Amino acid sequence: LASERRRQRHAGTEEEIKTLARRQMGEQGTASLSLRTIAREMGVTPPALYRYFASRDDLITALILDAYDDLADTMEATRDAAPAETDLVARLFAACMEYRAWALVHPVDYQLIFGNPIPGYSAPSEATQPAARRTLSVFVGMTAEALQRGALALPAAYEVLPGELEERLGGILAGEGYEIPAGALAYVLAVWARMQGLITLELFGHLQPILGDPDVFYRFEIASVLQRADGHPADA
Amino acid sequence: LASERRRQRHAGTEEEIKTLARRQMGEQGTASLSLRTIAREMGVTPPALYRYFASRDDLITALILDAYDDLADTMEATRDAAPAETDLVARLFAACMEYRAWALVHPVDYQLIFGNPIPGYSAPSEATQPAARRTLSVFVGMTAEALQRGALALPAAYEVLPGELEERLGGILAGEGYEIPAGALAYVLAVWARMQGLITLELFGHLQPILGDPDVFYRFEIASVLQRADGHPADA
DNA sequence: TGTACATCAGTGAACGCGCGTTCACTGATGTAC
DNA sequence: TGTACATCAGTGAACGCGCGTTCACTGATGTAC
C-alpha cells in the first residue's frame, strides 16, 4: 500500500527530528533546543518541521515521554530477561546496575526525566505520571517477589515505620494492588533514592574528583543495600 | 572616607544584580538568565551592568560560587552552633536536616551546584572544587568525631571495602589529613548520596505523587542511616 | 493505463521579538592642593 | 573653601545574531474510477 509507505516515511522523519533534538541537547544542555538548528541540520526550512510537531513544546513533550518509556522498557526487559530459576536478589541487583547503565548511555533522557525543568516549558503531568510509575513498578514488583520467596530480608529499620508514613504508603499500595507491607515500599523508595543520588552526582561530575570512576562505589552501595536473607550482600 | 561609600554602593548594586538574577532563575529555570531583563528591572540600560560583571558568564560564575559558599557557611554554622556536650549523632542528624532545609529554601542555588549545567556555560572547576570540598568536609569531620568518640557505630557493611575502593579513598583521606578509616569516608559518601537523591527527587517533584510531603520520609531515612552505637536510630 | 482530484511535504518571505556586547559619550562623585 | 583633575556610573545608539511561528504558495505523492 502506498499510503503505508508515506506513513512510514513520516514516522522516519519524525524520528530523525527527535534524534537531532536529543543530540543537540546532549551537546548544549537540555535547555538548548532550537527548531531552526534542527531544520538546518536536516537541510530543510524551519516551517517544514511543523508538519511533524505542532510546536517546540510538543517536540519536548514527545522527547520526555520517549525517555520515560525507554527507561521503563529497559527495566522491564531486564526483569524479563532473567531465567526463571534466577536468584531473585541477583536479579534485583542486575536491575539496579541496568538503571545506572541506562542513565550513563542516555544522559539526555535521564536529565529530561530527573533534571532541571526546561525554561518556559512545563511537562503535562497527566501524561508523565503513568509513564513514571511503570519504572518504579518494576522495582516494587521484583522486591515484593524477593521478599515473599524469602530471598531478601527486609532490613530491620523498615519493619516499623512512623505512623504517618505507614498510612500514606499503605494507601498507595492498596491503590496499586501490591501485596507487600508498607515498609517494603519504603525500602524500595530508599533503594531508588540511593541510585538516584549516586547517578545524579556522577552525571554532573561531583563524584569523579573524589572517587575517580564511581562504578566500584555504585556496585558496593547497591550490594550493601540489597542484603540477602542469609545475611550476605548481593553479588558485587 | 568618600571612596569607601562609593565602594559600598558598588558592592550593593552588585548584590542587587545577583539577587535579581537568582529571582529570574527561580521563575524561569537556571538556564534563563538575561542581562537585559535584569537591567530592565533595575531601571537601567543594559551596558550599565558591565560596570559590575565583565560578561554574562562572569555573573553566572559569581552566582555559583556564592551558592557553594552559602551552603558551606550554613553547614559550618550548624556544626558550630551545637553546644559542646551535644550528642554527636544528634548533631550529625541536625546537619543532615539542615542540608535539605537549605536546598528547599535555596532551590536555585542548589540547582546551580547540583543540577544540569547551563547551556553554553562551563564552570571553572579550579574555583568550584575547593568550595565543594568545604561542605563535604563538615560531614567528614563530624562523622569522624562521632566515630572516634564511640557515639556512632560504623555499619558493618562499611568495615571492609572492595580493595580498589579502599585504596582510592585511603589516598583521598591521606591527602586531606583526616584520621578515619576509608570505610568511614565511604559511609559519609553514602549518607551524602542518600540526601542528594531524596532532595533532588523532591525538588523536581518526583516524590510528592508517591509520598505527599517527603519530609517524614527524609527524616526516617536519615535516622535509619545514622544508627547510634547503642543500636538505636538517631532522633527523628 | 490514464486521467481528475485530494492530500501531504516542503518553500520563501515575513512578523515581531529578544539577546549579549561594543563604543563614544555625558554627568556625577570623588581626590589633591 | 575653592579649583583642576581623575575616576566612576550610566546613557543611547548600534552591531549582528538567533529565535518560534504564520501564511500563501508550489510540486510531489497518493487515491478513485
Residue B99: predicted pLDDT? 98
Residue A236: predicted pLDDT? 56
CA dist., res. A187 & res. A184, Å (int): 5
Q: Give the relative orientation of helices B125-148 and B182-203 as an angle to the nearest 10 degrees.
A: 120
Tens digit of pLDDT for each residue in A162-188?
A: 999 999 999 888 887 777 899 999 999
Highest mean pLDDT among A78-92, B95-109, B173-187: B95-109
Tens digit of pLDDT for each residue in B149-168?
A: 999 999 999 999 999 999 99
| Interchain CB distance below 8 Å, B216 and A164 | yes
DSSP secondary structure letter of residue B60 = H
CA-CA distances (angstroms) from residue A64 to A19, A109, A131, A183?
13, 7, 10, 31
Q: Chain B: residue nearest A203 by CA?
A: B116
Query: Residue B165 is inside which H or E element, if any?
Result: helix B163-176
Report yes or no: A162 at the B interface, CB cutoff 8 Å.
Answer: yes
CA dist., res. B78 & res. B72, Å (int): 10
Residue A176: predicted pLDDT? 78
Confidence (pTM): 0.96
SS3 B35: helix
| Interchain CB distance below 8 Å, A220 and B119 | no
Percentages helix, strand, coil for chain A (3-state, rounded to 5) are 70, 0, 25
CA dist., res. B106 & res. B12, Å (int): 21
CA dist., res. B136 & res. B134, Å (int): 6
| Average pLDDT across chain A, whole number | 94
Segment A164-169 long-range contacts (CB within 8 Å, at least 24 positions apart): A164/B216, A165/B211, A165/B216, A165/B217, A165/B220, A168/B211, A168/B212, A168/B216, A169/B211
Length of chain A: 236
| Interchain CB distance below 8 Å, A116 and B120 | no
Report yes or no: B164 at the A interface, CB cutoff 8 Å.
Answer: yes
B40 touches strand D (CB under 7 A): no
Nucleotide nearest to A50 (CA to C1'): D21
Tens digit of pLDDT for each residue in A51-82?
A: 999 999 999 999 999 999 999 999 999 999 98
CA dist., res. A66 & res. A70, Å (int): 6
